[in-house]
Amino acid sequence: MEDEMKKMERFDSDSAASLLKELRGTFASGKTKSYEWRVQQLKNMIKMIDDNERAIMEALQQDLAKPRFESFVSEISLTKAACNHALKELKHWMKPEKAKTAITTFPSSAEIVSEPFGIVLIISAWNYPFLLSLDPVVGAIAAGNSVVLKPSEISPATSSLLAKLLEDYLDSSAVRVVEGAVAETTALLEQKWDKILYTGNGKVGRIVMAAAAKHLTPVILELGGKSPVVVDSNVNLKVSARRIAAGKWGCNNGQACIAPDYIITTKAYAPTLIDGLKNILEEFFGKDPLESKDLSRIVNSNHFSRLAKLLDEDKVSGKIVHGGQRDETRLMIAPTILLDVPEDSLIMNEEIFGPLLPIITVDKVEDSFDIIKSRSKPLAAYLFTSSKKLEKEFVENISAGGMLINDTVVHLTNPSLPFGGVGESGIGSYHGKFSFDAFSHKKAVLYRSLYGDAPVRYPPYTPGKLRILRAILDGSIIGAILALIGFGKKKLE
Amino acid sequence: MTVAEFGLGERLGELRRTFQSGTTRSLAWRKAQLQALLNLVRDNEEQIFQVVHEDLGKHPVEAFRDEVGVILKSLTLNLNCLEKWASPKKSPLPLAFFPATAELLPEPLGVVLIFSCWNFPISLALEPLIGAISAGNAALIKPSEMAPACSSFLARVIPRYLDNKAIKVIEGGPETGAKLLEEKWDKIFFTGSPRVGRIIMSAAAKHLTPVTLELGGKCPVILDTRLSSSELEVAIKRIAWGKWGLCNGQSCVGVDYILVEEKFAPTLIDLLKKSIDQFYGRKAKDFKDLTRIVNRHHFERLHNLIKDPAVSDSIVHGGQVDKERMFIEPTILLDPPLEAEIMTEEIFGPFLPIITLKNIEESIEFVSSRPKPLVLYAFTKDETLKRLVLSRTSSGSVTFNDIAVQFMSDDLPFGGIGQSGLGKYHGKFSFEAFTHEKAVLRRNFIFDLESRYPPWSDFKLNFIRLLYKYDYFGIILLFLGLKG
C-alpha cells in the first residue's frame, strides 16, 4: 500500500526544489569532487551493466523491439566503452593544464583547472534510451558533478529499469533518477541547475534553453535534423549500399538522429543505387522484412501515424519504389525507398526518424550541395565518392555537426571525436574527453608573487609611464628597457 | 519606423549573402581584415583617447592600457596564430577503425551579433570582433549607447577600414537591441549585466542560437595578512589600483569588496588611504587621473547605495560626491550591513567595503555562499588557504596576489560561471567562441567488416563485443574458431 502511495506522489515544483537542496548539500560536502568517488561510481556502473545485461536487453526489446545485437552493439557496449575510457583517462583529464604566461605578467605562473559545474540535469531521449541516458551521466560523474537523470517516458521499460539500477548501484546522495513526462520535466526545468544536457528535438530544445536562460544555466542540446547522404557514381556499390542500409535500417530502423535521412544522387545513377539497396535489404532482412527479427519496430502509435502520414501524402504515395508495407498492430514499417518526392512534401521538410528513405536526383552530383545548404545544418552529413576533389568541396562547403566520407553513423563510436550539432542540430558536444570538458568549468588560475612592482602601473599617469606601457604591451623587451631608461617615441603630453 | 529599424533587414541580408559567398572564410580575407583593424587602431589612437575621455573621463594612460594596448596585442597574436588555429587537427583513431582518418575542422558559425558594454567601450567591442573575424564569420556590432562618443566613433571609422559587406556597426539603445534579438543569428556575444544576459539568452533560445555571456558579479578580495610588511604594502597598493585604477570601480574584473581579519582592518584602511593619496593627490576635487561615473543613472544608483544611514555610518574615508561633474571620490567603508544593497549587488563604482572576519578561513564560507563571481582574488602565501580557495570556491577565474592582470594573458580563458557568465574568450578562446569544430571521418571501400551488418548472429555479436574492447587478439581467436 505504501509503495502504491509513493508511486502516486506527484513530482512537482516542491519535490524538485527539495531534491536540488539535498543534492546541493551533497555537492557542497565535496564528496563528488574526489577522484576516488568518481572512479567508484564508474566502476559500479560497469558492474551494473555486466550484472544486468539481460534485463537491459529485455527492456529495450519491450520499448522498441530492438534486436539483441543492436542493443548490445549500440547501447550496452558504447556505454561500457564510455565508462572504461573515462576510467583510463580520468587522472590525466583531472590534471590542471599549464598555461603560458606573458611578459606582461612576469613573474607569474598560470594554469587552467577543471572543476565540476555542480548539479547537472540530463534529459534523455527514447530511441537509444539506455545509451543516451548513461553516456552523459558518465561524463557528468567523471567531471565530479552531482547528477539528476530524467529518462524519456516514451521508453518506459528502460526508464523504470534505469531508476531501479542507478539507485541500487550508484551513490544516491549524488545521483538520482526522476521519471515522468511533461509535468515532471517542467518542474525540474524551473529549478536552477548548473548545467543541462538535453537530447531530443528542436522544439523541446528551445523550451529547455528558454528555461535555462532564466538562471543563466549553460546548456548542451543534442538535437537532430535531416542528415543527407550524397552518393556519387564512382563508388563501390556493394559496400556503399551496405553502409547506407546499415546506417538507416540497422539503427533502430531509422529512428536515430544520425541515421541517413535522405539520399541525393544523379538521375543516371539512381536506378543502380536503388537496385543495390534492394539487394542489400533482402540480404539483411529477408524477403519479408516485417517478419525479420533484426528490424526494430516504430516506438509508438503516435510516431507510426506520423510516418504513415508522410507516406500517404498525395504527391508522395506514388513515389514508392520499394517497400511500403506496414503492420499497425505490431507497429512495424518495412524499409521503404522513394524516388523523386517533391521538395515541398512533408517527408522532405521534417526529420523523418523512421524507415523511409527518399532519393532526390540531380543532374550532376555537385548540384546536391545547394540542396543541402538550403536547409538547416544537420547533425551529420555523409558523402560516398572516390573523387578527392568532390570530397574536399563537400567538407569545405557543407556545415554539419559531423561528417563521414564513405560510411555512415560510425563516427559517433570514436571517443576522440566530439559529437554534437550546429545551428538547428544543436549546441555543444560530448563523448570521450569532450564529455569531461562539457561538464567541467575551466577555471583560469594565475599565481603572482608579491615581489617588486613597476611604478609604471600606478597613477599618477605620466608620459614616461605611457611609453613604458606601450613597449610592454608591444611585447618588446628592448622597447621596455629603453623606455625605462628614457628613450622611445614621444607621444603624449 | 525608427532609424534603427529601417535598413536592419537589408543589412542583415547583406551580411548573410556575404557569408554564403564564402568571402569571410578565406584566410587571406581574415588576415587583411585583422591588419586593417590594426591600422585603424594605430591611425586613430588620439581619437580613441578623445572619445573615451569624453564618455568616461578616462585618462589616456588608462585608455591606452585597457582599450588600445590590449587590442594591439590581441591583433598581433591573431595575425600570428590564425593559420595554426584555422587548420584541421588530426584526431587519433583506434585500430578498429582502420583504414580511416579523422580530424576536427574549425568552421565559422556564420553571421554573429556582438553587444558591447560602456565601461571599456572600444576594447569590449573590438576583442570579440577580432575573434569573429579570425574564425571567418560576418559580424554586426551594437556598441553601448551609454558611451555615445565611442559608439559613434566605431560606427564612423570601422566602415572606412573594414569590409563593409561583412562587418557592420549599428548604433542604438534598448529598442534597437530588442529588434536585433528578434532576428536569427548564428552566435550572439554579449558583455553586460546578468539581467540583460537573461533577456539575451531567452531571445537566443527561440532560434537555438549559441551565446557567450560575459557578465559580472561581486569580485571579492581575500586578504590574508600573514605577509611581510613590504609584501602587504605591495598587496594593498595592487588592491587600491584594482579598485580605482580600473575605470574607477566600473569594471567587471575590478575589486568589489575586501575580506580581512578584523584586527588588521585599521592598518588596511591606513594603507589604502596612503595609496589613494599617492595615486590621486589629497584634494577631493583634484582627481585628474580618475575616471568619472558614466552617466546620471549610474551616478544616482551609486549615490543611493550610501544614502542608507547604516551604510553611510560605515564610511571611514571619502564619501564626497560632485553631482555636477558626476564624480564620486574613492570611498572606503568598514563593515556595512551585509543585507544592504551595497553588499548584495555588484557595486560597479568607487565604494570599497571592507568586511571583517574573526579569522581569514571564514572567507571561504563567505564567498562560497554567495553567487559565483567572475574573478576571485586572494592575497596569501599560505598553501592551505590557496588549496581551500581553489577547491572550495567557484568563480570564473582565480588570481593570487594581484588584480586584473589575468586579463593580459593570451593563454588563459576569460569568462564567468553561474551568474557571472557563460562561455569564454581571449587569445585562442576568442577564435573558438566563434567556431564550430566539425568532426570529419574519412573511410574508403577496402576492408569492409561483414560482422557489422544484419542478419545478426551470435558470431557477429561476439565479434563486436571483442571489437569494442579493442581486444584484437580475441578477435583473431574468434575467427579461428577458438573463442565462442
Q: What is the ipTM of this complex?
A: 0.93
Task: Please tell me whether residues A330 and A477 are part of one structural domain.
Answer: no
Is residue A107 reached through a cis peptide bond, with omega within 30 degrees of 0 on the bond before it?
yes
Task: Please tell me whether residues A137 and A285 are part of one structural domain.
Answer: no
Cell 563604482, residue? B349
Q: Domain of B168: which CATH number?
A: 3.40.605.10
- C-alpha cell recorded at residue B174: 534598448
Distance (Å, whole) CA A402 – CA A382 = 9
Cross-chain residue pair B102–A414, CB shorter than 8 Å: yes
Is the pLDDT score of A105 beyond 90? no
For chain A, what percent of residues have pLDDT higher than 70? 93
- What is the separation of C-alpha A410 from the centre of its chain, rounded to a whole number of angstroms? 14
Asked, for residue B17, whether it belongs to a domain, the answer is: yes
Q: What is the pLDDT of residue A465?
A: 79
Task: Please tell me whether residues A185 and A232 are part of one structural domain.
Answer: no
Q: What is the pLDDT of residue A462?
A: 79
Asked, for residue A2, whether it belongs to a domain, the answer is: no
Asked, for residue B443, whether it belongs to a domain, the answer is: no
Contact A336, A324 (CB under 8 A): yes
Q: What is the pLDDT of residue B379?
A: 97
Asked, for residue A266, whether it belongs to a domain, the answer is: yes
Which amino acid type is present at position B303? Answer: H
Report A:76-95 residues touching B (Cβ under 8 A). 77-78, 80-81
Kindly indicate the confidence band of residue B6, based on its pLDDT and cuts at 50, 70 and 90: low
Task: Please tell me whether residues A204 and A234 are part of one structural domain.
Answer: no
Tell me what the mean pLDDT of segment A338-352 comes to: 95
Q: What is the pLDDT of residue A490?
A: 40
Kindly indicate the confidence band of residue A101, based on its pLDDT and cuts at 50, 70 and 90: confident
Q: What is the pLDDT of residue B286?
A: 62
Task: Please tell me whether residues A67 and A206 are part of one structural domain.
Answer: yes
**Mean of pLDDT over chain B:** 92
The partner residue sitting opposite B208, judged by closest CB among A221, A442, A466, is: A221
Asked, for residue A4, whether it belongs to a domain, the answer is: no
Q: What is the pLDDT of residue A488?
A: 43
Task: Please tell me whether residues B144 and B101 are part of one structural domain.
Answer: yes
Is the pLDDT score of B101 beyond 60? yes
Rg (CA), chain A: 27
**Structural domain of residue A467, as residue ranges?**
454-492
Q: What is the pLDDT of residue A332?
A: 96
Kindly indicate the confidence band of residue B30, based on its pLDDT and cuts at 50, 70 and 90: very high
Task: Please tell me whether residues A379 and A460 are part of one structural domain.
Answer: no
Query: A with B: how many residue pairs have Cβ under 8 Å apart?
Result: 297
Q: Domain of A404: which CATH number?
A: 3.40.309.10
Instruction: Looking at the complex, report in whole angstroms how far the Cα of residue B309 sits from the nearest Cα belonging to chain A.
Output: 32
Cross-chain residue pair A407–B441, CB shorter than 8 Å: yes
Task: Please tell me whether residues B161 and B51 are part of one structural domain.
Answer: yes
- DSSP label at B316? E
A380 in reach of chain B (CB within 8 A):
no
**Structural domain of residue B91, as residue ranges?**
3-215+426-437
- C-alpha cell recorded at residue B400: 593570487
Task: Please tell me whether residues B431 and B327 are part of one structural domain.
Answer: no
Is the pLDDT score of B92 beyond 90? no
Give how many domains chain A has, as a whole number. Answer: 3
| Chain B CA closest to residue A249 | B454
- C-alpha cell recorded at residue A287: 524477403
Asked, for residue B421, whether it belongs to a domain, the answer is: no
Q: What is the pLDDT of residue A6?
A: 54
Task: Please tell me whether residues A58 and A177 are part of one structural domain.
Answer: yes
Task: Please tell me whether residues A219 and A256 are part of one structural domain.
Answer: no
Instruction: Looking at the complex, report in whole angstroms how far the Cα of residue A100 sits from the nearest Cα belonging to chain B.
Output: 6
Asked, for residue A62, whether it belongs to a domain, the answer is: yes
Task: Please tell me whether residues B187 and B268 are part of one structural domain.
Answer: no
Q: Which of A29-43, A236-250, A403-417 has the lowest mean pLDDT?
A: A403-417
Contact B235, B401 (CB under 8 A): yes
Residues of chain A with Cβ-Cβ distance to B101 below 8 Å are none
Asked, for residue A246, whether it belongs to a domain, the answer is: yes
N residues, chain B: 484
Residues of chain A with Cβ-Cβ distance to B465 below 8 Å are 72, 77
* Catalytic residue (choose from A75, A184, A222, A424): A222
Report A:400-429 residues touching B (Cβ under 8 A). 400-407, 410-411, 414, 416-419, 422-424, 426-429
Cross-chain residue pair B405–A104, CB shorter than 8 Å: yes
Asked, for residue A449, whether it belongs to a domain, the answer is: no
Asked, for residue B341, whether it belongs to a domain, the answer is: yes
Q: What is the pLDDT of residue A7?
A: 52
Contact B359, B202 (CB under 8 A): no
- C-alpha cell recorded at residue A200: 531530443
- C-alpha cell recorded at residue A453: 612592482
Cross-chain residue pair A216–B419, CB shorter than 8 Å: yes
Asked, for residue B13, whether it belongs to a domain, the answer is: yes
Please name the helix (run of DSSP H) or strand (run of DSSP E) that holds residue B77, with its range, or none.
Answer: helix B70-86
Is the pLDDT score of A306 beyond 70? yes
Q: What is the pLDDT of residue A489?
A: 43
Instruction: Looking at the complex, report in whole angstroms how far the Cα of residue A314 sits from the nearest Cα belonging to chain B.
Output: 32
Cross-chain residue pair B205–A294, CB shorter than 8 Å: no
Residues of chain B with Cβ-Cβ distance to A78 below 8 Å are 468
Task: Please tell me whether residues B264 and B165 are part of one structural domain.
Answer: no
Q: Which regions of B182-275 does DSSP assign to beta strands (E)?
A: 187-191, 211-214, 220-223, 257-261
Q: Domain of B407: which CATH number?
A: 3.40.309.10
| Chain B CA closest to residue A473 | B69
Tell me what the mean pLDDT of segment A309-316 comes to: 94
User: What pLDDT, in 10s, does the model give residues B291-313?
Assistant: 889 999 999 999 999 999 999 99
Probe site for chain B from A94, A392, A461 (most B CB atoms < 10 A): A461
| Chain A CA closest to residue B424 | A442
Cross-chain residue pair A410–B97, CB shorter than 8 Å: yes
User: What pLDDT, in 10s, does the model give residues B330-354?
Assistant: 999 999 999 999 999 999 999 999 9
The partner residue sitting opposite B441, judged by closest CB among A213, A411, A450, is: A411
Q: Which of A74-83, A103-112, A291-300, B241-250 has the lowest mean pLDDT?
A: A103-112
Kindly indicate the confidence band of residue B479, based on its pLDDT and cuts at 50, 70 and 90: low
Cross-chain residue pair B91–A417, CB shorter than 8 Å: yes
Q: What is the pLDDT of residue B61?
A: 87
- DSSP label at B263? G
Task: Please tell me whether residues A45 and A181 are part of one structural domain.
Answer: yes
From residue A109, alpha-carbon distances to A26, A99, A104, A423, B253 in Å are 33, 8, 12, 38, 19
3-state SS, chain A, equals CHHHHHHHCCCCHHHHHHHHHHHHHHHHCCHHHCHHHHHHHHHHHHHHHHHCHHHHHHHHHHHHCCCHHHHHHHHHHHHHHHHHHHHHHHHHHHCCEEECCCHHHCCEEEEEEEEECCEEEEECCCCCCCHHHHHHHHHHHHCCCEEEEECCCCCHHHHHHHHHHHHHHCCCCCEEECCCCHHHHHHHHHCCCCEEEEECCHHHHHHHHHHHHHCCCCEEEECCCCCEEEECCCCCHHHHHHHHHHHHHCCHHHCCCCCCCEEEEECCCHHHHHHHHHHHHHHHHCCCHHHCCCCCCCCCHHHHHHHHHHHHCHHHHCCEEECCCEECCCCEECCEEEECCCCCCHHHCCCCCCCEEEEEEECCHHHHHHHHHCCCCCCEEEEECCCHHHHHHHHHHCCCCEEEECCCCHHHHCCCCCECCCHHHEECCECCHHHHHHCEEEEEEEEECCCCCCHHHCCCCCHHHHHHHHHHHCCCHHHHHHHHHCCCCCCCC
Q: What is the pLDDT of residue A475?
A: 63
Task: Please tell me whether residues B314 and B192 are part of one structural domain.
Answer: no
A143 in reach of chain B (CB within 8 A):
no
Contact B114, B128 (CB under 8 A): yes
Is the pLDDT score of A491 beyond 50? no
Give how many domains chain B has, as a whole number. Answer: 3
- Higher confidence at residue A176 or residue B459? A176
A257 is catalytic: yes
Is the pLDDT score of B484 beyond 50? no
**Mean of pLDDT over chain A:** 92
Q: What is the pLDDT of residue B408?
A: 74
A455 in reach of chain B (CB within 8 A):
no
Is the pLDDT score of B285 beyond 70? no
Is the pLDDT score of A187 beyond 70? yes
Q: Domain of A23: which CATH number?
A: 3.40.605.10
Contact B205, A213 (CB under 8 A): yes
Task: Please tell me whether residues B184 and B290 are part of one structural domain.
Answer: no
Task: Please tell me whether residues A263 and A134 are part of one structural domain.
Answer: no
Distance (Å, whole) CA A181 – CA A186 = 9
- C-alpha cell recorded at residue A485: 631608461
Asked, for residue A85, whether it belongs to a domain, the answer is: yes
Is the pLDDT score of B283 beyond 90? no
User: What pLDDT, in 10s, does the model give residues B420-472?
Assistant: 999 999 999 999 999 999 999 999 888 777 777 888 888 787 777 777 676 66
For chain A, what percent of residues have pLDDT higher than 90? 82
Q: Write out the catalytic residue numbers of B.
A: 214, 252
Q: What is the pLDDT of residue B449?
A: 74
Task: Please tell me whether residues B256 and B354 are part of one structural domain.
Answer: yes
Task: Please tell me whether residues A262 and A207 are part of one structural domain.
Answer: no
Task: Please tell me whether residues A308 and A391 are part of one structural domain.
Answer: yes
User: What pLDDT, in 10s, does the model give residues A423-480?
Assistant: 999 999 999 999 999 999 999 999 988 876 777 778 888 787 788 777 777 666 666 6
A228 in reach of chain B (CB within 8 A):
no
Q: What is the pLDDT of residue B455?
A: 83
Q: Residue A350 burial (CB < 10 Å; 0-12/13-18/19+)? A: middle
Cross-chain residue pair A72–B465, CB shorter than 8 Å: yes
Distance (Å, whole) CA B478 – CA B457 = 13
Task: Please tell me whether residues B260 and B329 are part of one structural domain.
Answer: yes
Compute φ and ψ for A305, nearest 5 degrees: -65, -40
A375 in reach of chain B (CB within 8 A):
no
Strands B220-223 and B375-379 come out as parallel
Q: What is the pLDDT of residue A478?
A: 64
